Each structure stands twice: as structure tokens, then as C-alpha cells.
């Protein structure tokens, strides 16, 4: 748990400047800007690193750790969209 907390804290530090950069650009809805690409890559990297940590903690194969983390992220996103829909 401490390794997962440390990894998430370090990755969150990287997310803050990217989020501020994307807000400063004020890109129109539906357009993709460079900060969003970096945020996507950081999210993929976060799933990869957390999957590695989880696999080592459970003493299971790396692919299983990544699959568990991917399922966790997808479940979290779907619950967030179901419980807190975006107002348009």
C-alpha cells in the first residue's frame, strides 16, 4: 500500500502542471491539444506502474496486475459517469 501511495503521489505531482497548462490553452470542446495527449500517456503509464506494483505485492504475473488495474480504472470511470453525469 505504501508503494502504491508513493507512486500515485509522484504521478499526481506530474498531473498538476499538465492540467494547468490545458486550462490555460482554453481549447474548444472536441479539440485535442498537446497537454491532453500528455495526460493520456500519463494515465496509461499510471495504470502500468500500479499494475506492476500490484503484481509484485500479490506475487502474481505482471499481466494480471495490469489487468486488475485496468479493470479498476474502467470501473471507477463508469461509476463516476453513472453517479456524477456531466451537465451540458
pLDDT in tens, 11-55: 889 889 988 888 888 777 777 778 888 988 999 999 999 999 999
Please report whether residue 88 resides in a domain: no
Please report whether residue 69 resides in a domain: yes
Please report whether residue 30 resides in a domain: yes
Domain that holds residue 47: 2-83
**Which is nearest to 56 in space by CA: 69, 45, 43, 75?**
69
pLDDT band of 71, cuts 50, 70, 90: very high
Q: Give yes or no for a contact between 51 and 69, defined as CB atoms under 8 angstroms apart.
A: yes
Please report whether residue 16 resides in a domain: yes
Please report whether residue 61 resides in a domain: yes
Whether residue 60 has pLDDT greater than 90 = yes
**pLDDT given for residue 56 in this prediction:** 94
Please report whether residue 68 resides in a domain: yes
Q: What is the DSSP letter of 59?
A: T
CA distance 61 to 38: 28
Please report whether residue 42 resides in a domain: yes
Please report whether residue 49 resides in a domain: yes
Number of domains in the chain: 1
Q: 87: exposed, middle or buried (C-beta count within 10 Å: 0-12, 13-18, 19+)?
A: exposed
Amino acid at each position: 500500500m505504501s508503494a502504491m501511495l508513493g507512486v500515485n503521489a509522484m504521478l499526481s505531482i506530474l498531473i498538476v502542471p499538465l492540467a494547468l497548462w490545458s486550462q490555460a490553452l482554453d481549447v474548444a470542446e472536441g479539440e485535442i491539444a498537446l497537454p491532453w495527449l500528455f495526460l493520456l500517456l500519463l494515465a496509461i503509464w499510471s495504470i502500468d506502474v500500479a499494475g506492476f506494483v500490484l503484481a509484485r505485492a500479490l506475487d502474481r504475473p505482471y499481466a494480471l496486475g495490469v489487468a486488475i488495474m485496468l479493470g479498476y480504472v474502467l470501473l471507477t470511470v463508469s461509476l463516476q459517469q453513472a453517479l456524477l453525469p456531466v451537465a451540458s
